[in-house]
Amino acid sequence: MQKKLIALAVAGLVSGGAYAQTNVTISGQIRMSIDQYKLSDLPAGFTASTETRVTDESSRLFIKGREELGGGTYASFQIENRFSPDLGAFTAAGNTNVTLGGNWGAVAIGRQDLHYGTALESYLAFTNQNFLGNGPLSQVNGTVIAVTSRTPNAVWYDSPNMSGFTVRLAGSTAFAGAEGTGLRAAGAADPGKGGATNLALNYANGPIKAGYSYWKATVEGGKTAAVGDQRGDTLQFGYSFPMGIKVGIAWNKSKLDFTTGERSRTAWLLPISYDFGSNRVNFTYLSAGNTTGVADSGAKAYTLAFGHALSKRTNVGINYSKLTNETGATYNLFGGGTSTAATPGADVSQLALTVYHSF
């Protein structure tokens, strides 16, 4: 249950109304799994055992606030902190920003999910590794596009909802890490010339969800033989039938541009879910084609999951994911613990029991 903080209200009374903040809340979610994780079909020189693990599946804590400025304009903030109940540690910042908005839309500055993933996959009974849209669909043979996570140093504009249509235009001054100072050796490439652009067009109205996302990123300091500039295009469509069945399709084409040449591939994602009573069954299938210039570099993956809602805030589930790489492919599942990049052709699977609780 969200809890309003009273500290700012008390401070406002003491200071004679110096604080206009009216709504600060704390909320969050804890998602944990007990899972068995396994690498298989390893090339010569490698071996792996089945690992039984207790794993955090992206638990998070939110602190949010909003101030009405008059005339329909508002200022707001969100602090999202990812933490690991299994380790007892706060690990990273999630979507964290400050926003100025109104009936004209909203402008925000901070760290935000941009481009990667797909809104067509379920989020309750899953583990991180179940999200194929955030994993193989957002990779070119194991190399991630758009950080496959929150993009730092971002500024974005979200349009108002126009009969179901929304637009996001975003940019990042340093999409892969910390900002620089501009200092460099004489004659060296300018490290401040990199950055990223994201344009997302979405439609959600009734049973239909559809969208397109464009991503283009330039490496700061210039591309090399190992680190390339990025380009990605994603199309997705989903439809919810009255009997509880949801069907979707997503298409992605991504490219990496190195000094030694380009590497690109096309991938497809097919998510299906069925709701009945307090239960949901999910099945998602992914196919990634060969990467240009790399023989036998395609991959296939699927996720099968069952979730049961014990209440509006608590969900338990069981799920299985499997990723099969061809002999030249190094795709990974999303989330921590995957390690196929050093072993071309390796496959990975995960069987997990999950518990999800929101507060």
Quick: pLDDT tens for 42-88: 877 878 888 999 999 989 999 999 999 999 999 999 999 988 888 88
Separation of alpha carbons 103 and 106, rounded Å: 8
State the Cα–Cα distance between residues 271 and 6, nearest whole angstrom: 43
pLDDT in tens, 203-255: 999 999 999 999 999 988 788 888 899 999 999 999 999 999 999 999 999 99
Pairing type for strands 208-218 and 195-205 reads antiparallel
Alpha carbons 358 and 108: distance in angstroms, whole number: 26
Domain ranges of the chain: 3-358
From the CB of residue 279, how many other CB atoms can be counted at a distance below 10 Å?
14
CATH code of domain 3-358: 2.40.160.10
CA–CA distance, 247 with 267 (Å, rounded to integer):
17
Residue 47, pLDDT score: 82
For the cut 80, the answer to whether the pLDDT of residue 158 exceeds it is yes
pLDDT confidence band for 354 (50 / 70 / 90): very high
Which of these, 252, 343, 334, lies nearest to 289 by C-alpha position? Answer: 252
Q: What is the pTM of this model?
A: 0.88
Q: How does residue 338 score in pLDDT terms, banded at 50, 70 and 90?
A: low
Burial class (CB in 10 A: 0-12, 13-18, 19+), 299: buried
Kindly report, residue by residue over 87-120, the tens digit of the pLDDT: 887 777 889 999 999 999 999 999 999 998 777 8
Residue 12 — very low, low, confident or very high, per pLDDT cuts 50/70/90? very low
Residue 341 Cα distances to 66, 149, 329, 333, 346, angstroms: 43, 18, 8, 11, 8
CB 77 within 8 A of CB 97: yes
Residues 6+ apart with CB under 8 A from 7: none
- The reported pLDDT for the residue numbered 189 is 67
For the stretch 272-319, pLDDT in tens is: 999 999 999 999 999 999 999 999 999 999 999 999 999 999 999 999
